[in-house]
Amino acid sequence: MIIDKLIDRINELENPTVVGLDPRLEYVPSFITDKYYAKYGYTPKAVGKSLYKFNKYIIDEICDIVPAVKPQIAMYERYGIEGLKAYDKTCKYAAKKGLIVIGDIKRSDIASTAAAYCDGHIGKVKIGECEYSGFTHDFITLNPYLGSDSITPYLDACKNYEKGLVVLAKTSNPNSGEIQDLLVDGKTIYETVGSLIEKWGEELRGKYGYSSVGAVVGATHPEQAKKLREQMPHTFFLVPGYGAQGGKAEDLAVCFKDGIGAIVNSSRGIIAAHLKDEYRQSREEDFAKASRAAALAMKEDLRRCIER
Amino acid sequence: MIIDKLIDRINELENPTVVGLDPRLEYVPSFITDKYYAKYGYTPKAVGKSLYKFNKYIIDEICDIVPAVKPQIAMYERYGIEGLKAYDKTCKYAAKKGLIVIGDIKRSDIASTAAAYCDGHIGKVKIGECEYSGFTHDFITLNPYLGSDSITPYLDACKNYEKGLVVLAKTSNPNSGEIQDLLVDGKTIYETVGSLIEKWGEELRGKYGYSSVGAVVGATHPEQAKKLREQMPHTFFLVPGYGAQGGKAEDLAVCFKDGIGAIVNSSRGIIAAHLKDEYRQSREEDFAKASRAAALAMKEDLRRCIER
């Protein structure tokens, strides 16, 4: 069960952090970009190669201290096919280095189309007698707006290939309440989605009682997160919004119970740490050491606030 | 304004049909796949090449009788990078043949991430002094679950590059009501989303009164579509669910007003027409003529039911 692997690794490292690999061109040191611009010109290919190289440096520095990475596919789709190649290579490299890979793809579609996304992202396709995986993910994020038949097509692949899902419940952005907070008979939409997530995960519960169908619950809404933690006892939380978006360790502690139950994402705060005065390195080539230092600081910040 | 171009072309061809380019390997005639399997083995590369070639035949047969195509990106993501290359080439080829391209990507994310999707799918990225488009779309579909700040980041690109959006309101699948039909103060979630769509499109209205921010409204729910048509006078509808999913021309006529206001999607019914007895061709190489015949039959079916 992939959720057990994730929790085991969090416990082993005593670190419930996932690093968001959401690179932006402006984060990438010039010693990387210059090389590829010289070779490929100012092209998407040069950028794709640069983003992958950038990620590789960071993965090498963090793979022994954090359990998981969460590449955000939008940052790569931005550059078309060349960007997506960098995404694919990043996921593969992270997996090779022992990291659990949460593909932040937030896909959503009706059943037969969901099956195609499933095949590509966590399942397999058969071509002749050969089987292939499109992308290399342990978990993927999904959007629930279309209802159960847009989520259940993924559950068999979760069972057959030891994969997991993380479904949006309450997102971290300022306007998330516009739809998610609407009240239906005293219950918000995100709570309704929460109940569905518990149900979708019923057959995928592991040794810690949590299922391989998790929920996205933003760190920026602590009161709501607290209610969801009680309402969803078998659902592991992926918590975005820490750091740059304003979520504090004190606030998101409510997502945990007995020291487990959630993993907290930080993207910019870790992968762009080298641009901050407190983590700046003297040699450009050492930029990823800043990410390591920031990841260790985040670990301490979380450990301070989460009761075990 | 891209919505005007779309309506002009619908009027010119007297055909409010969009062909869903959602290929499955089992639709592709063996004279295409055999060639690529021989060259590349049973690999995703061979499949990607086959899907593109399949689409190309169909595009050639329909480009003078339908105004638009809607490739469903999931069918290509299924095969990873090689599949996505076929998606990209399909969009480019369709655009070259004068078709309006609606990328069915149903993306959703928070503001800064939405901006990245926007750059890649309807905007541009700047690399050095050069500008690039990631993918070739006129419209893209989006999922509204995250609220306004997940949609508004796309509006500037719509203005600057003459592009459009189609936001999910009421989808065509059986479980769509689980969230979309929930009642809040006498108003369903899909109606709330409908009001938001009207607002998002305010500054993008064209000469027919419709805006370049459209809505997905499933043909499988005629009563609800009728209400939405009244509630959303400036919103053009993309109507899935015709044919294979059970939606009938009689039922979806409510999505139109004075003969315009919607475009109806058919995927399987057109691109897999050659597998049906009524459209089967004697020469395998002529398979796409079946798609042409099915598209013309659909045109007549719609014209019969839509009052002008």
DSSP string, chain B: -HHHHHHHHHHHHT--EEE-----GGGS-HHHHHHHHHHH-SSHHHHHHHHHHHHHHHHHHHTTT-SEE--BTHHHHTTHHHHHHHHHHHHHHHHHTT-EEEEEEEE---HHHHHHHHHHHTS-EEETTEEE-SS--SEEEE--TT-GGGTGGGHHHHHHHT-EEEEEEE-SSGGGHHHHT-EETTEEHHHHHHHHHHHHTGGGB-TTS-BSEEEEE-TT-HHHHHHHHHH-TT--EEE--BGGGSB-HHHHGGG-BTTBSEEEEESHHHHTGGGSGGG--SSGGGHHHHHHHHHHHHHHHHHHH---
Find, among B217, B222, B293, the residue nearest to B254 by Cα: B222
Contact B139, B166 (CB under 8 A): yes
The proportion of chain B whose per-residue pLDDT surpasses 70, expressed as a percent, equals 100
Tokens of A168: 């949006």
Is the ipTM above a cut-off of 0.85?
A: yes
Chain A residues in contact with B174 by the CB 8 A cut-off are 149
The count of other CB atoms within 10 Å of the CB of residue B25 is: 17
The predicted pLDDT at position B246 comes to: 84
- Least Cα separation, residue B37 to chain A (angstroms): 9
From chain B, the residues in CB contact with A193 under 8 A are 179
Cross-chain Cβ contact A120/B80 below 8 Å:
yes
Identify the three-state secondary structure at position A35: helix
Residue A5 is predicted with a pLDDT of 98
The C-alpha angle with vertex B91 and arms to B104 and B303, in degrees rounded to 5, equals 65
State the nearest Cα–Cα gap between B281 and chain A, in angstroms. Answer: 25
Three-state DSSP class for A144? coil
Interface test with A, best of B112, B167, B217 (most A CBs within 10 A): B112
pLDDT score for B219 = 85
Contact B279, B33 (CB under 8 A): no
- pTM, two decimal places: 0.97
Residue for token pair 């499955």: B24
So what's the pLDDT on residue B243? Answer: 85
End-to-end C-alpha distance for chain A, whole angstroms: 23
Q: From the centroid of its chain, how far is CA B210?
A: 17
Residue B90 in tokens: 């399909």
Question: Which H helix or E strand runs over A17?
Answer: strand A17-19
Most distant CA atoms of chain A, gap in Å: 61
Chain A residues 63-122 with CB within 8 Å of chain B: 72, 74-75, 77-81, 83-85, 88, 106-111, 113-114, 116-117, 119-121
Give first-to-last CA distance, chain B, whole Å: 23
Q: Is A106 a catalytic residue?
A: yes
Number of helices followed by number of strands (H, E) in chain A:
13, 12
pLDDT at residue A243, rounded to an integer: 85
pLDDT digits (tens, 9 = 90+) for A96-111: 999 999 999 999 999 9
- Report d(CA B75, CA B87) in Å as an integer: 9
What are the start-end ranges of the H helices in chain A?
Answer: 2-13, 30-40, 44-62, 74-77, 80-96, 111-121, 155-161, 177-180, 189-200, 222-231, 249-252, 268-271, 287-305
B46 and chain A: CB distance < 8 Å anywhere?
yes
A 10 A CB-CB count for B29 gives 20
Distance of alpha carbon A85 from alpha carbon A49, whole angstroms: 9
d(CA A129, nearest CA chain B) in Å: 8
Q: Which residue, among A175, A188, A217, A238, would best test binding to B if mutated, counting the most B CBs under 10 Å from its CB?
A: A175
Paired with A141 in beta bridges are A166
B190 within 8 A of B169, measured Cβ to Cβ: yes
A252 touches A242 (CB < 8 A): yes
Q: Structure tokens of B291?
A: 């798609």
pLDDT along chain A (308 residues), means of 10: 98 97 98 98 98 98 98 98 98 98 97 97 97 98 97 98 98 94 94 97 98 95 93 97 87 94 97 96 96 98 88
Q: Measured between beta carbons, which residues in chain A are less than 8 angstroms from residue B110?
A: 171-173
d(CA A96, CA B86): 28
Spatial contact of B225 and B24, defined as CB atoms under 8 Å apart: no
Give the whole-angstrom CA distance, residue B255 versus residue B242. 12
Nearest by Cα to B236 from B164, B171, B306: B164
Contact flag A175-B114 (C-beta cutoff 8 Å):
no
Q: Which residue positions in chain B have pLDDT lower than 70?
A: 308
H/E element, A238:
strand A237-239
Q: Which two tokens stand for residue B190?
A: 């899909």
Report the CATH fold assignment for A2-305.
TIM Barrel (3.20.20)
**Rounded percentage of chain B residues whose pLDDT exceeds 90:** 95
Selected for mutation to probe chain A from B173, B242, B265 (highest A CB count within 10 Å) is B173
- CB nearest to A175's CB, from B81, B108, B147: B147
Name the active-site residue from B5, B35, B56, B106: B106
The alpha-carbon gap from A240 to the nearest alpha carbon of chain B, in Å, equals 11
Instruction: Using DSSP, state whether A137 is helix, strand or coil.
Output: coil
Contact B109, B117 (CB under 8 A): yes
**pLDDT computed for residue B239 by the predictor:** 97
Find the residue in A nearest to B113 (Cα).
A74
The pair of three-digit structure tokens given for residue A146, joined into one six-digit string: 């279309």
Tokens coding A169: 């419940």
Q: Given this model, what pLDDT does residue B244 score? A: 78
How many whole angstroms separate alpha carbon A133 and alpha carbon A142? 18
Strands B183-184 and B17-19: unpaired
pLDDT value, residue B308: 67
Chain B CB contacts of A145 below 8 Å: 108, 143-145, 168, 171, 179-180
* Cβ neighbours for B220, distance < 8 A, ≥ 6 positions apart: B172, B173, B241, B245, B246, B247
Residue A296's contacts (CB-CB under 8 Å, 6 or more residues apart) are: A65
CA gap A114, A100 in Å, rounded: 23
Count residue pairs from A and B with Cβ separation < 8 A: 218
